[in-house]
Structure 1
Amino acid sequence: MGRKGIFLDFQRVDSLFTGLAQAYVKREADVASLFPYDYSSLESYWRRSKWIDEYCSIPRNAVAEILVEEQHRLSLLAGTNGDDNKALEAAKNINHSQSLVVITGQQTGLFTGPHFTLLKAFTAIAHAQRLQDFLGRPVIPLFWMATEDHDFEEVSKTELAQGEKVHTIALADKRASKKPIGQLNLPEKWLETVDAFTSLLPQNDKGSEWKRFLMELSSRTSSFSDFFAVLIHRLTASYGLVIFDPMNKAFKELDETKTFYKELIKKHDSLAKELSHACGHIRSLGYEPQVEKPAQQLYLFYHHDGERKAIVKESGLDKSSVPCFQVLNSEVSFYEQELIELLQQEPTKFSSNVISRPLWQDRIFPTIAYVAGPGEIAYYASYGPIYNLMNQQMPPILPRLSVTFVEGYIGKLLNRYNSTFEDFREHADHIMAQAIKAEDKLSIDLLFDLLRSDVQESYQKIIEPLAKWDLHTGKLAEENFERVIGQINYLEKKAQQRHRQNCQEIKKHFNKLQSHLWPGGPQERILNVLPYLIKYERLTDELLEVPMEYLDSHLLLYL
């Protein structure tokens, strides 16, 4: 069923989320029970806002001050000002006593990475405005950059579809260390990477403008995460999206952060037990837990020798009953009190992991909702008991927009081959084979079936008489028949081969459909979004119009 938007057509199809995440977006009862709120009900956000007012003590003044400074720095790098930068005012509004925040986040991908990164941002922006209108209080969208993450492989490439091919732009240097992404500088051959990327952007005035901007930005910043932050800021500042970097020293030095880290240490055994029970419950529902950790592993990382290392709890340095903590792959270890004292003095040496990050998030922000992808939804399914143990409450988890962009010529190709997105995704080879067969003007299959039938009929007339006359000669006739059929089959194979060569246009069309619609997986998880935003200037406005009730589906946007 479709909807006409500002200038585009939406079509809803079944969600591409799988497993637990799909059950969640469809609000199946057993999975929904793992979460305290129904994301599809506005009442959930009203109840959450009341919970925040009653139970949360948020350091609004300090947080707003840090974020305002950060948005100002990004605006200088991006060249956004005036009406182009509502993010600065949004950051100031966090200081408002009634303010709330819709949060989302993602790894700092190369040139923004796959386009679901921006889909998350647009979902947060739209939902924040929706809730602000509904609740009558400031609601700010915020993007949490995963700069503490150390998986370089996840952020080191991006892909763009052009014609029949998907082109991969990848950083030349491979970094195997566990250094946080937020500490990485742009590589030596960065300008070559920028040039390769921009050569694949639309060759129009806006594409040229983006090429100039990316080249200029390369001379103004040396940080990989700053480059990402400025791109996101440039694309979303006019909508008031606030960019947050968890590696900002000022956030680590907040009393709320230090207190939170201390609680993670003190309550570790209980937290590990609750996570184990939660994972067991998820298995009992027929799903595999998305996140499990060894019972001894602390929900904090320690930054040592430029790398981010896990911390494990052991029985004692001197075989006593006093607990101690060992930093993996190092000779560093601490008694519990020593570890607590260190995090009080140098909190920047620590960072949260996949379990503690959302909990820390909700200690420093009045989180009215978190916009999540399918993997994150599966993570959060295990977190309810952990939230409770930390005297917190999981916020409503809102599924991000899930979208495939269908450009005009791609839509026409689908129509030409009488195919839908779902048919093509599941049966592309079959549909192409049918299209090639339809181009067979000679009816090659029928032609050779008739020939084989005629030959078989003719041979049958001589094989039986020859066999009766002389058994040896009859067998020779049978062998001769098999050789003739083999030659006919060979000739048919060559005819079909020539036919397929004559159908190169069809193959090219299907290669083009593959590269643009399903390039080895969902388009939103692979292709970069900038070419679409450059070609279709009002695309962002259209995405911000998507109704909340569409979030349980995958959307086809016909451009």
Structure 2
Amino acid sequence: MQSVNFRYLFPNYGGVTRLFIDYVYNFKNVQRFYNYNFNDLDNLNSLIESVLKNYKNREKVVEILKRQNFYYENFSAREKLELLSRDNTLAVVTGQQVGLMSGPLYTIYKIITAIKLSDFLSEKFKDFNFVPVFYLESEDHDFFEANHVKVFNSSNELVKIEFNPEDTPRENYGPVGEIKFNDRFESVLRKFEEELQDSEFKNDVISFVRSTYKEGFNFAESFAKFVGGLFKNHGLVFLNPNDAELKRFLVPIFEREIDEHPKLSNLIVDVSAELEERYHAQVKPRAMNLFLFYRGGRYPIEPAEEKGMFRLKGARFKFSKGELKHILETNPQALSPNVILRPICQDTLLPTIFYVAGPSEIAYFAQLKPAYIYFGLPMPVIFPRISATLIEPKVRKILEKYKVEFEELFSDFSSVAKKISTMDSDIDIDGFFKVMRSRFESLLGEVKDFVLGIEPSLGGAVDNSASKILYHINNIYEKTVNANQKRNEIILKQIEKLKINLFPENEIQERVLNVIYFLNKYGFGLIDKLFDDLEVFEFNHQIIYL
């Protein structure tokens, strides 16, 4: 298995930051910002004990998770849910917004990481159970990040296929997970059928999409059914936090934030200032780290000018602290955590021992250690997700033909393109044929002199033959020039094919392409291949040949 050091991706690709580079390769430089070194798995017992000791409401949460997962027809999670009900079971958690058909490829890599890590831990720590859980970020309100997929069509063009529930898009759709697919979604499915290239797997793929994305389903439900179907052999458990019963367990967190704000935010600001001395602060805390669902939207709550009053940013709505507390008591589902509080809510609902994170998440977890201390929760181990590029046979052929190294490919694609295009630039067609013409003209001159010495009347015949010979040489020259131009066009097309397949939209493949493109070409067996080929403890960008 080949891989590329993340340093070759920095700073151009994959959200790779200086902090992430140190996290992966020089953890001692950042260890003060985290609770545990993800590379040290031999001394987890104290953290395991702390997580199990602090975890509450196991029985009730598992019952809710059974209800959710069975509603999503995720029956393969039954065994893992039974394990989760036991007092010696911990969760290996990952999460993502509920993007259309799972969103970019890195969501798939997150899930594979969580499942494989759970299996490894179960083997290593025989006295405990480890269950992979996907935390559906269904309350996120950035609809336009979740409403589309990008795939290559039969012409190898990158196309964006998106769903819009209305003719005129709204600025704030509220929690994306609750948005339902209406009759407009049929046109999205037809677009898929038109754009996906024909293959032996196309009918099965389209049928699978149609069975998981139906009119009347919402984004969270369809996401869970789609991903659950892909990973039906692995017992992945889903948790949807936008649930009235689950929100009851989060009331103490929300109440403390309401009563004590901006205390938590000030703690985050302090650690952010320390981070920025060397790195960067990924997220900015608000005075209050809560949203309110209001009139179909999701709006940040912020203090108003009047003492003891609050307002919604982006909506004309003010209310008192007493009114906010009344909402919390009577309808806690109307409140929603922001990026600062979401991990705290997640690890209150689950006995989280590991959280599988991408580069940007690892960066913002560096700001959250004070939040875990503030709420008296053990901070989980933050484990880097698998990162990978899939190399198709047509791309591999080009790479091998031009002897391209992956390090140079990721660090400076423009230099690779130049290398390929100038590989045979020493061929001088004009110079070669100029020399050849001169030689032929000289030889033909000698022939004419020789013939004239024998019979002067043959001079015209020699000139006529010489003209024909030079004509044919010029004809060969023109054909050679045209052939070379076509060859260069092929090289340019190969360079373009490389770039669009490996760096669509000038980003690495995993952050743009949807898994549907690859399933359509290689079948559902692709998931098993990825499980077999991807290494969970390979902390570099992995290269997988298809």
Q: 1:66 to 1:448 in 2, by over 3 A?
A: farther
Instruction: Give the partner amino acid of 2:383.
Output: L
Residue number in structure 2 paired with 1:14? 5
Find the residue that maps to 2:356 and give its secondary structure. Answer: strand
Does residue 354 (structure 1) correspond to residue 331 (structure 2)? The answer is no
Superimposed CA distance per residue, residues 267-310 of structure 1 (whole angstroms, 9 cap, x where no aligned partner): 322212101101101012x212001134xx31110111111111
Q: 1:215 to 1:356 in 2, by over 3 A?
A: same
Residue number in structure 1 paired with 2:442? none
Contact 2:138 2:175 (8 Å CA) reproduced: yes
Q: 1:51 to 1:310 in 2, by over 3 A?
A: same
Residue number in structure 2 paired with 1:47? 46
Does residue 169 (structure 1) correspond to residue 155 (structure 2)? The answer is no
Does residue 407 (structure 1) correspond to residue 392 (structure 2)? The answer is yes
Within 5 Å, give how 1:250-261 maps onto structure 2. 250-252=245-247, 254=248, 256-261=249-254
Q: 1:246 to 1:429 in 2, by over 3 A?
A: same
Instruction: Give the partner amino acid of 2:280.
Output: E
Does residue 525 (structure 1) correspond to residue 525 (structure 2)? The answer is no
Residue number in structure 2 paired with 1:373? 358
Contact 1:68 1:92 (8 Å CA) reproduced: no
Residue number in structure 2 paired with 1:558? 545
Superimposed CA distance per residue, residues 380-425 of structure 1 (whole angstroms, 9 cap, x where no aligned partner): 0001112111112211000100000112221111011111223233
Deviates more, 1:167-176 or 1:139-148: 167-176
Residue number in structure 2 paired with 1:289? 281
Q: 1:428 to 1:447 in 2, by over 3 A?
A: farther
Q: CA deviation at 1:316?
A: 4.1
Within 5 Å, give how 1:475-490 maps onto structure 2. none
Instruction: Give the partner amino acid of 2:217.
Output: S
Give the Cα–Cα distance (whole angstroms) in 2 for the partners of residues 22 and 422 of structure 1.
Answer: 16
Superimposed CA distance per residue, residues 202-240 of structure 1 (whole angstroms, 9 cap, x where no aligned partner): 634433112123224444643122222211111113201
Instruction: Give the partner amino acid of 1:23.
Output: D
Instruction: Give the partner amino acid of 1:380.
Output: F
Which of 259, 271, 288 is residue 264 of structure 2 equivalent to? 271
Give the Cα–Cα distance (whole angstroms) in 1 for the partners of residues 55 and 156 of structure 2.
Answer: 54
CA RMSD of aligned residues (A): 2.6
Superimposed CA distance per residue, residues 78-101 of structure 1 (whole angstroms, 9 cap, x where no aligned partner): xx7xxxx42122123221111111
Give the Cα–Cα distance (whole angstroms) in 1 for the partners of residues 194 and 344 of structure 2.
Answer: 42
Which of 212, 217, 225 is residue 220 of structure 2 equivalent to? 225
Which of 180, 184, 189 is residue 185 of structure 1 equivalent to? 180
Q: 1:421 to 1:344 in 2, by over 3 A?
A: same
Q: 1:540 to 1:217 in 2, by over 3 A?
A: closer
Residue number in structure 1 paired with 2:104? 114
Identity of aligned residues (%): 27
Find the residue that maps to 1:507 and give its secondary structure. Answer: helix
Contact 1:301 1:350 (8 Å CA) reproduced: yes
TM normalised by structure 1 equals 0.81
Residue number in structure 2 paired with 1:5? none
Q: CA deviation at 1:547?
A: 4.0
Residue number in structure 2 paired with 1:197? 192
Superimposed CA distance per residue, residues 452-482 of structure 1 (whole angstroms, 9 cap, x where no aligned partner): xxxxxxxxxxxxxxxxxxxxxxxxxxxxxxx
Q: CA deviation at 1:525?
A: 0.3
Q: CA deviation at 1:196?
A: 1.9
Within 5 Å, give how 1:47-446 maps onto structure 2. 47-54=46-53, 56-75=54-73, 85-136=75-126, 137-162=128-153, 164-172=156-164, 174-201=169-196, 203-219=198-214, 221-252=216-247, 254=248, 256-284=249-277, 286-294=278-286, 297-314=287-304, 316-317=306-307, 323-439=308-424, 442-443=427-428
Q: CA deviation at 1:314?
A: 4.2
Q: 1:422 to 1:522 in 2, by over 3 A?
A: same
Give the Cα–Cα distance (whole angstroms) in 1 for the partners of residues 375 and 201 of structure 2.
Answer: 49
Contact 1:40 1:548 (8 Å CA) reproduced: no
Deviates more, 1:45-54 or 1:140-149: 45-54
Give the Cα–Cα distance (whole angstroms) in 2 for the partners of residues 91 and 175 of structure 1.
Answer: 38
Q: CA deviation at 1:106?
A: 0.7
Residue number in structure 2 paired with 1:486? none
Residue number in structure 2 paired with 1:549? 537
Find the residue that maps to 1:185 and give its secondary structure. Answer: coil
Q: Which consecutive unaligned segments of at least 5 residues does structure 1 have? A: 1-9, 318-322, 451-494
Q: CA deviation at 1:131?
A: 1.3
Q: 1:12 to 1:258 in 2, by over 3 A?
A: same
Give the Cα–Cα distance (whole angstroms) in 2 for the partners of residues 400 and 446 of structure 1.
Answer: 55
Superimposed CA distance per residue, residues 407-457 of structure 1 (whole angstroms, 9 cap, x where no aligned partner): 22211110111112232334434433443334558515867999xxxxxxx
Deviates more, 1:391-400 or 1:222-231: 222-231
Q: 1:43 to 1:433 in 2, by over 3 A?
A: closer
Give the Cα–Cα distance (whole angstroms) in 1 for the partners of residues 180 and 427 of structure 2.
Answer: 62
Instruction: Give the partner amino acid of 1:126.
Output: K
Instruction: Give the partner amino acid of 1:94.
Output: L
Contact 1:152 1:175 (8 Å CA) reproduced: no
Q: 1:67 to 1:220 in 2, by over 3 A?
A: farther
Q: Which consecutive unaligned segments of at least 5 residues does structure 2 have? A: 10-15, 436-479
Q: CA deviation at 1:107?
A: 1.2
Instruction: Give the partner amino acid of 1:104.
Output: T
Contact 1:34 1:382 (8 Å CA) reproduced: yes
Deviates more, 1:333-342 or 1:18-27: 333-342
Deviates more, 1:218-227 or 1:352-361: 218-227
Superimposed CA distance per residue, residues 68-87 of structure 1 (whole angstroms, 9 cap, x where no aligned partner): 11111111xxxx7xxxx421
Deviates more, 1:201-210 or 1:269-278: 201-210
Residue number in structure 1 paired with 2:460? none
Q: 1:288 to 1:496 in 2, by over 3 A?
A: farther
Does residue 32 (structure 1) correspond to residue 39 (structure 2)? The answer is no
Give the Cα–Cα distance (whole angstroms) in 2 for the partners of residues 66 and 388 of structure 1.
Answer: 27
Q: CA deviation at 1:372?
A: 0.5
Q: CA deviation at 1:501?
A: 5.0
Give the Cα–Cα distance (whole angstroms) in 2 for the partners of residues 328 and 533 of structure 1.
Answer: 42
Q: CA deviation at 1:165?
A: 2.3
Q: 1:435 to 1:443 in 2, by over 3 A?
A: farther
Work out the number of aligned pairs and report it. Answer: 487
Instruction: Give the partner amino acid of 1:414.
Output: L
Q: CA deviation at 1:199?
A: 4.0
